[in-house]
Amino acid sequence: MSRALPEPVPHGGDLDSARARWPHAPEPWIDLSTGINPIPYPLPDVPPMGWSRLPLASEELALRAAAAHRYGAGDPGMIVSAPGAQALIQILPRLVDRSDVAVLAPTYAEHAVAWRREGHDVREVPDLSSIGGARVVVLVNPNNPTGRLIPRPLLHALARELDSRGGLLVVDEAFADVLPAEASLVADIPNATIVLRSFGKMYGLAGLRLGFAISQPLIAARLRDYLGPWAVSGPALHIGTVALADDQWLKAAVHRLQEDQRRLDALLLACGCALIGGTLLFRLFEHQAAAELAATLGQHGIHMRQFRGHPTWLRFGLPADERAWRRLEDALHTIGTA
Beta-carbon contacts of 307 under 8 Å, excluding residues fewer than 6 positions away, are 106, 145, 313, 315
Q: CA–CA separation, 315 vs 317, rounded Å?
A: 7
- Answer yes or no: is pLDDT of 17 > 70: yes
DSSP assignment string, 262-309: HHHHHHHHHTT-EEEEE-SS-EEEE-TTHHHHHHHHHHTTEE-EE-TT
Q: For residue 334, what pLDDT band results from cuts at 50, 70 and 90?
A: confident
C-alpha triplet 196, 235, 68: angle, nearest 5°: 35
Confirm if 81 and 210 have CB atoms less than 8 A apart: yes
Q: Express each pLDDT in 200-221 by its tens digit.
A: 999 999 999 999 999 999 999 9
Q: Express each pLDDT in 73-90 by its tens digit.
A: 999 999 999 999 999 999
What is the residue-averaged pLDDT of the chain? 95
Q: For residue 293, what pLDDT band results from cuts at 50, 70 and 90?
A: very high
Number of other CB atoms surrounding residue 246 within 10 Å: 17
Confirm if 191 and 185 have CB atoms less than 8 A apart: no
Confidence at residue 336, expressed as pLDDT on a 0 to 100 scale: 60
Confidence at residue 6, expressed as pLDDT on a 0 to 100 scale: 61
- Answer yes or no: is pLDDT of 2 > 60: no
Q: Express each pLDDT in 241-272 by its tens digit.
A: 999 999 999 999 999 999 999 999 999 999 99
Domain architecture of the chain: domains with CATH = 15-40+248-336 (3.90.1150.10), 49-245 (3.40.640.10)
Q: Express each pLDDT in 318-329 by its tens digit.
A: 999 999 999 999
User: Which backbone phi and psi does 118 adopt, to 5 degrees?
Assistant: -90, 10
Beta-carbon contacts of 64 under 8 Å, excluding residues fewer than 6 positions away, are 76, 77, 79, 80, 81
Q: For residue 5, what pLDDT band results from cuts at 50, 70 and 90?
A: low
pTM of the model: 0.95
Beta-carbon contacts of 270 under 8 Å, excluding residues fewer than 6 positions away, are 332, 336
- Answer yes or no: is pLDDT of 4 > 60: no
The length of the chain is: 338
Q: Express each pLDDT in 18-28 by its tens digit.
A: 999 999 999 99
- pLDDT more than 70, % of the chain: 97
Q: CA–CA separation, 335 vs 328, rounded Å?
A: 11
